[in-house]
Structure 1
Amino acid sequence: MTLTPDRTESLEDFAARASDWLKGQGLPRRGTTAPGGPHTSSLAVFHDLSFDEEAALIGRLTDWVRRRYDAGFGAISWPTELGGAGLPPSYEQAFARAEAKYDVPDAHELVSVTLQLIAPTLRVFDRTPELRALVGPMLRGDVLACQLFSEPGAGSDLAGLGTRARRDGDQWVVTGQKVWTSGAQFAQWGELLARTDPDAPKHRGITAFMVPLDAEGVEIRPLRQMSGGSSFNEVFLTEVRIPDAWRIGEVGEGWKVALTTLGFERTSSGENTQTGAGLADAIALARTTGALGDPVLRQRLADLVVSHTLGEVALARDAAAAGRDSTDVVGSMRKLQWVNRLRQVSAFAQDALGPGLVVDDGTPDSFAWTEHVLGAPGYRIAGGSDEIQRNLIAERMLGLPAEPRADKNTPWKDIPR
């Protein structure tokens, strides 16, 4: 049961109460691990776990989400009618700062996608009671949802997707294939993009739905990635029936829904401090390897500190601008900055460890870095490639001419594939 928020509570009193609650949760504080000792959290960008291990990780994380939510510290800035605390964003930021002092359960893409992408999208497109009823359980971690966007034949051109949905009375019948779906094997729901009008140009013939993944005709096949894990999946849909009540937004306006979700993804990527290794891990590595004594590596570490600080300043600026006029491509800028920090961390680890990165000789905090180094490049693609982000910034923020698109007004069915 969520505690009733006190909207008369000052920010300082709220922060003190949050700190007291966190102290009582039995979590180790960050930075308490002895130099050279084992990490209390993973350095992996994408998990290299068995099915049971990954399920257990998600279970620990959703348990933490529930504890936080039931104590009144979940969905802090969400409206009360949707299960939130109804407090200003500054209160959410204050809790995040307090929580960052503790080693909370490791992040997982599926939980992040549910809380930071799909639940907020359903809030924006609050169309039916059925959709609205999903939001509270998502915020509490009781229901998890994945993105059913990417397809084998669409690549970075998401609007070229070919999964079809035809209307049959008050239902839609969906057939197609999705790929690179994080966490689908553990999710209960998926946010689906499907083509409902092949005669319309590709951006205007798409409709979005929520689809239960236990529906008849849904098949999920995990994909083995180069890091060893299988967080990604193929999802096959064969004559899957979806009630119209699960449609998100208007018919033919699925691209608007997709842009909303992708906007949340870019923003959350820029804010994400739990994915892979971060500044604190790099500093710990510098101490254990003696890199602090090398002038070149010391300078690279300093550059990483500067990048991290600039990222914090940018996020603080974004938070201060919340609710005021701002460009819709700020998320693209923040994602590029975050991906660059991941790259800097990888480069530093490779130079600091040398051959120790690729040889598992039992030295603490060495071979484990391979999970970060191998996984970090994936975020140059996830949520829209770096090239897509730069196009968005160039066109929407800098006002540069749009990239020519010969198929802009061509019916999707007439586009060569």
Structure 2
Amino acid sequence: MSLPAFESQAREWILDTTAGLGFDRVDDPYDVAVFHDMEFEQEKRLLDQHRMWQRAKFEAGYAALDWPAEVGGAGLDSSFADAFIRLENEHCPLRPHELISVTMHLIAPTINLLGTAKQKEVFLPPMLCGDLLACQLFSEPDAGSDLANVSTRAVRDGDDWVVTGQKVWTSGAQFAGWGELVARTDPDQPKHAGLTAFLVPLDARGVTVRPIRQMSGGTSFNEVFLDEVRIPDRLRLGEIGKGWSVALTTLAFEREGGSDSSSIGGQFSQLVSTAENLGREHVPRVRELIARVYLRQKLAQVDTLLDRQSRAGGEAPTAGGSIRKVQWVDKLTAVSAAARAILGRDLIADTGAPGTFAWNAHVLGAPGYSIAGGTDQIQRNIIAERVLGLPPEPRADRGLTWREVRAAQSTA
């Protein structure tokens, strides 16, 4: 089938299927929030609808168009997958949810790339059809930007691993069935070398999930406590001591996806509409800031084309994803700056005027993406070292084991 014929067929299928499933529609043209602000039952309903949509796509052959057929895909060129995503964004009325994105675009591809044949058989079909949702169990209170400093321990006990520790800022954990965990298995190795990755059922004994209320109102993030959780070795993802490579693979998928911010937060057209409604479209400073947003959206489109070329060539995610992540966050920041200039004090007081106070949710939420997936500072270090070839940043812990570093920190 030609690409135009595929697009025509897919558009008709999306319109017919979404109408038949009766999804909740979001008709608010000023829904510009970066993070959800929903009650538990409302968010659960949204995820249930996403599961229905994912199953419909799976049964119709649209769930993984550019994946190999042996793992549930259609084996098509990436241009078909890109076309379907564009049509889906245009015509599917469901609000996006980060847990769906994490499952489908981060963890499932990681398992497909690094998992055993049995893990692919067990996890990928239910992920592709929406039955299984998974989160990232990466960050910790003392290991955010310095992710390799995780202290959650996994100790071998026969055919099992016993895991104890705490994770934090875990998106969607309260609704996830599984998590991709990075834990320390050898404290007497340098911090990057003593890590191992696992797939963890979140209903296992010893797992506790506590939502974190954000300043924007929602509870997208969670704390996850693991108290002597037993994990069979068959759920180990990758080799023992190679957990850092697994984590980098997942983070690379996350950063590769960061250039497409079309469904997150406010956009150029919404800023223009707000400025026109308030009679501020001719203010020079407002025009300058809106133009910056327009340029950054165009850069995102160029990034998307580059991603398509890389995927078509079979390339794995690279440090170039950090460039796209920095550009993406820069665009969100530019949107916030333009909204503040347009609205002034209307940004912090709900006057009832359409499209005014709604921008408050964007301004409060946008800074979160300068941290998620690795801070802006970490991304710039990656770009400097791996793309530009600059000397690596000095590290005081170079050559020391994780245990030695922790001991030095405790006595400092």
Structures share fold, TM-score greater than 0.5:
yes
Runs of 4+ in structure 1 deviating by more than 4 angstroms, as ranges, are 324-327
Alignment of 1:258-297 (within 5 A): 258-297=247-286
Change in Cα spacing, 1:327 to 1:132, as seen in structure 2 (3 Å) is closer
CA distance in 2, matches of 1:117, 1:38: 29
The whole-number CA distance in structure 1 between the counterparts of 2:399 and 2:131 is 42
What's 1:17 paired with?
Answer: 9
For 1:165 and 1:247, the matched residues in 2 are separated by 11
Paired residue for 1:387? 377
Q: For residues 324 and 221 of structure 1, do their structure 2 counterparts lie closer, same or farther at Cα, with a shift above 3 Å needed?
A: closer
Deviation at 1:170?
Answer: 0.8
What's 1:5 paired with? none
> Residue 191 and residue 321 in structure 1: after superposition, are their counterparts in 2 closer, same or farther (change >3 A)?
closer
Q: Closer, same or farther in 2 for the Cα pair 1:216/1:131, shift >3 Å?
A: farther
- 2:187 paired with 1:195: no
Residue of structure 2 in register with 1:371 after alignment: 361
> AA paired with 2:251?
L
Within 1, Cα distance between the matches of 2:84 and 2:279?
35
Cα distance, 1:272 vs structure 2: 3.5
Aligned to 2:325: 335
Instruction: Output the CA distance in 1 between the equivalents of 2:201 and 2:319.
Output: 31
**C-alpha offsets along residues 205-256 of structure 1, whole Å, 9 cap, x if unaligned?**
0000000000000011111111121111111001100011100000000000
Q: Deviations over 1:297-354 (max 9, x none)?
A: 1232222112211210221123123326688111100111111111111111111122
Equivalent-residue separation in structure 1 for 2:45 and 2:315 (angstroms): 42
Unaligned stretches of 5+ in structure 2? 20-24
Would you say the 8 A contact 2:293–2:331 is kept in 1?
yes
Counterpart of 2:318 in structure 1: which amino acid? D
Match of 1:173 among 162, 167, 179: 162
Q: CA deviation at 1:294?
A: 2.5
Q: Equivalents in 2 of 1:64, 1:293: separation in Å?
A: 43
CA-to-aligned-CA distance 1:36-88 (integer Å, 9 cap, x gap): x9616732211122111221222222322222332222111111111111111
TM-score, scaled relative to structure 2:
0.93
Say yes or no: does 1:205 pair with 2:194.
yes
In structure 2, the partner of 1:356 is: 346
TM-score by length of 1: 0.92
Alignment equivalent of 2:144, drawn from 145, 155, 158? 155
Matches within 5 A, 1:54-65: 54-65=43-54
Identity percentage over the alignment? 52
Residues 1:230 and 1:97: Cα distance change in structure 2 (over 3 Å): closer
- Deviation track 1:82-109 (CA, whole Å, cap 9, x = no partner) reads 1111111011111122223225311111
Count how many residue pairs are aligned between Structure 1 and Structure 2. 401
Do the aligned partners of 1:174 and 1:237 also contact (CA within 8 Å) in 2?
yes
Aligned equivalents of 1:379 and 1:126: distance in 2? 28
1:133 aligns with 2:125: no
In structure 1, what is the Cα distance between the partners aligned to 2:226 and 2:216? 27
* Structure 1 gap ranges (5+): 1-8, 28-32
On the 8 A contact 1:329/1:392 being kept in 2, the answer is: yes
Task: Show the 5 A alignment for 1:201-350.
Answer: 201-322=190-311, 323=313, 328-350=318-340
User: 91, 94, 117: which one pairs with 2:106?
Assistant: 117
- Contact 1:122–1:132 under 8 Å retained in 2: no
CA distance in 1 between partners of 2:65 and 2:261 (Å): 17
Q: Which of 399, 402, 405 is residue 412 of structure 1 equivalent to?
A: 402
Matched to 2:284, the amino acid is: P
Alpha-carbon deviation of 1:368?
Answer: 1.6
Amino acid at match of 1:407: D
CA deviation profile, 1:138-178 (whole Å, cap 9, x unmatched): 12221100000001122311101000001111110000000
Q: Distance in 1 between matches of 2:221 and 2:86?
A: 31
